């Protein structure tokens, strides 16, 4: 296992390959390039404590063994104020996240104690007018669809870029 030290750990839910490729292409086209270090992702936790990496790994390994691929739905666009995202829905993923949060409760940041609005950011940290322009451009082009999250991935935060540490495939 990679030693992560004090670096924050980020947990994401992985999109299926076709949806991931499409969302990453949107992100590449519309995210400010000087800040676009990442491919499309769905963040479940922003900052799990690095010193607890071994415990986090054990918990995620156990959770992935119990879960089948988790159903999700792409709903459409979502405004982030200074950005644009793909809005997602997945009660099953939020349930799984809540189970993890319950086990990690005393170690969570204030941000990670709150249930997230599931989304894939395709544009961020731009002027509100620019975000609204993209939303108008994409309006009507995003088709709602069902999909399944095949796995979760744990990353180490490197001050901008992330280092993928491990993927936890759902096998239940």
pLDDT class for 3, splitting at 50, 70, 90? low
What's phi and psi for 102, nearest 5 deg?
-60, -40
pLDDT computed for residue 4 by the predictor: 64
Domain extent listing, the chain: 9-169
Residues sharing a CB contact under 8 Å with residue 126, sequence separation 6 or more, in sequence order: 32, 82, 83
Per-residue pLDDT at 64 exceeds 70: yes
Task: Return the beta strands (E) in the chain as ranges.
Answer: 9-14, 42-48, 70-79, 84-89, 119-123, 145-149, 151-157, 162-169
Q: Does residue 165 have a pLDDT over 70? A: yes
User: Is-contact 119 88, C-beta < 8 A?
Assistant: yes
Asked if residue 145 lies in contact with residue 21, where contact means CB atoms within 8 angstroms, the answer is no
Task: Return the CATH class of domain 9-169.
Answer: alpha beta
Kindly report, residue by residue over 49-60, the tens digit of the pLDDT.
999 999 999 999
pLDDT class of 156 with cuts at 50, 70, 90? very high
């Amino acid at each position: 296992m990679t030693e992560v030290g004090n670096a924050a750990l980020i947990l994401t839910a992985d999109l299926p390959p076709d949806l991931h490729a499409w969302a990453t292409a949107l992100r590449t086209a519309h995210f400010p390039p000087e800040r676009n270090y990442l491919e499309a992702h769905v963040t479940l936790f922003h900052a799990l404590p690095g010193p607890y990496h071994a415990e986090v790994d054990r918990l995620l390994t156990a959770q992935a063994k119990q879960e089948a691929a988790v159903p999700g739905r792409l709903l459409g666009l979502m405004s982030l104020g200074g950005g644009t995202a793909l809005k997602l829905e997945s009660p099953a993923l939020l349930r799984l996240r809540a189970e993890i949060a319950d086990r990690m409760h005393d170690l969570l940041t204030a941000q990670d104690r709150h249930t997230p609005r599931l989304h894939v950011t395709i544009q961020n940290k731009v002027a509100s007018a620019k975000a609204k322009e993209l939303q108008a451009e994409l309006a009507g082009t995003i088709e709602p669809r069902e999909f399944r999250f095949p796995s979760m991935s744990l990353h180490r935060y490197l001050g901008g870029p992330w280092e993928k540490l491990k993927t936890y495939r759902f096998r239940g």
